[in-house]
Amino acid sequence: MSLPHIAADQISLPHVLAALGDPTRLAIVRMLADSGNAPIACGGFAEFGSKTNISYHLAKLREAGITRTEIAGTSRLISLRAADLDARFPGLLDSILAASGEAARAHGPLPIPATGVLL
Amino acid sequence: MSLPHIAADQISLPHVLAALGDPTRLAIVRMLADSGNAPIACGGFAEFGSKTNISYHLAKLREAGITRTEIAGTSRLISLRAADLDARFPGLLDSILAASGEAARAHGPLPIPATGVLL
DNA sequence: TCAATAGTTCAATGAATTTTGAACAAAGGC
DNA sequence: GCCTTTGTTCAAAATTCATTGAACTATTGA
């Protein structure tokens, strides 16, 4: 089960940039990337704000095409649309994650660093 | 002569993304990149809005560290801080320009493509 | 000097955005 | 069935952002 999401080719650059221009939403995306793109429930973002506020920011990220939301029981599982984003805007998510001090890449679950850098 | 600019290492990712999340400012940056990073006076952006509105957006871009403003007589010459941005956030400007349908790269005036890719 | 050009600054307005709390819906566990 | 957990929706308040016009500065050129 899944909430409605826009098609990958309808993701708009200004909307993506505006969505990630908010520190709270950027932190959410960073956390998703940190998880190796494994889905995280809304509650996992509690440190970034109130339940209702997180719900608002997650809706923005979903509407911008940055995240996917799957319904699992009473939870929503949020994940990055990393492949869709990289197909639409090659390298963009990677460079933003790298710029935000990130280890995770847009592709691949979790590249084990040869010499434990950057975690 | 030059207006005050923040240091390259103080450029903030959320500020850059928020600044470029506005369609008018993204169009301005695109136009600067299109020019091969040659400076453009404020009047060159007239198509994007009123004089006073452009002044506002150019101030936002300068404050975010995306553009440099040189004073030349009664004009202001605006240019992209492409090298500073690329040093601080490698690949970010490039991927945004590419995503916005751009030919110009963050570095080098105009690299002639060997096999006409990405134009 | 006078007028025109190029932009900035200021204050006001309107439009979006963010944040909050109350009320709600939909499972899941007892 | 009932309560708890998880999250959404709604409306209101607070904040921020974008746009406009009037007034201003500074430079250039006649």
B95–A98: do the CB atoms touch at under 8 Å? no
Report yes or no on B108 lying in a domain. no
Give the structural domain span for A52.
8-99
**Residues 75-94, chain A: which have Cβ under 7 A from strand C?**
none
Please give the pLDDT value at position B2. Answer: 77
Report yes or no on B57 lying in a domain. yes
pLDDT at residue A117 tops 80:
no
Please give the pLDDT value at position A102. Answer: 61
The residue that leads in pLDDT, A117 or B92, is: B92
DSSP B33-60: HHTTT--EEGGGGGGGS-HHHHHHHHHH
Average pLDDT of the segment spanning A69-85: 97
A60 is near strand C: CB distance < 7 Å: yes
Report yes or no on A106 lying in a domain. no
Q: How far is B109 from chain A (nearest CA, A)?
A: 21
Please give the pLDDT value at position A104. Answer: 45
A17–B14: do the CB atoms touch at under 8 Å? no
At B70, which helix (H) or strand (E)?
strand B67-72
Report yes or no on A2 lying in a domain. no
B17–A91: do the CB atoms touch at under 8 Å? no
CA-to-C1' distance for B76 and C25, Å? 57
B56 is near strand D: CB distance < 7 Å: yes
Percent of chain A with pLDDT over 70: 85
Q: What is the largest CA-CA distance in chain B?
A: 43
Measured to protein CB atoms, the chain D nucleotides within 7 Å are 5-10, 17-23, 26-28
Neighbours of B110 (CB within 10 A): 10
pLDDT at residue B119 tops 50:
no
Report yes or no on A115 lying in a domain. no
Weakest mean pLDDT among A12-26, A91-105, B30-44: A91-105
Cβ–Cβ < 8 Å for A24, A50: no
- Give me A63's structure tokens: 């509407």
- Smallest CA–C1' distance to C18, residue: A53
Report yes or no on A41 lying in a domain. yes
Report yes or no on B67 lying in a domain. yes
The one-letter code for the residue type at B8 is A
Which residue from B14, B22, B91 is facing A22, i.e. has the nearest CB? B14
Q: How far is B39 from chain A (nearest CA, A)?
A: 24
CA-to-C1' distance for B20 and D15, Å? 21
Q: How many domains does chain A have?
A: 1
pTM over 0.90: no
Tens digits of per-residue pLDDT, A14-58? 999 999 999 999 999 999 999 998 999 999 999 999 999 999 999
B70 is near strand C: CB distance < 7 Å: no
Whole-number average pLDDT of chain A: 88
Residue A74's domain is classified under what CATH number?
A: 1.10.10.10
Report yes or no on B117 lying in a domain. no
Sign of CA dihedral A98, A104, A106, A111: positive
DSSP chain A: -B-----GGG--HHHHHHHHTSHHHHHHHHHHHHTTT--EEGGGGGGGS-HHHHHHHHHHHHHTTSEEEEEETTEEEEEE-HHHHHHHSTTHHHHHHHHTT----SSSS----TT----
B18–A19: do the CB atoms touch at under 8 Å? no
Whole-number average pLDDT of chain B: 88
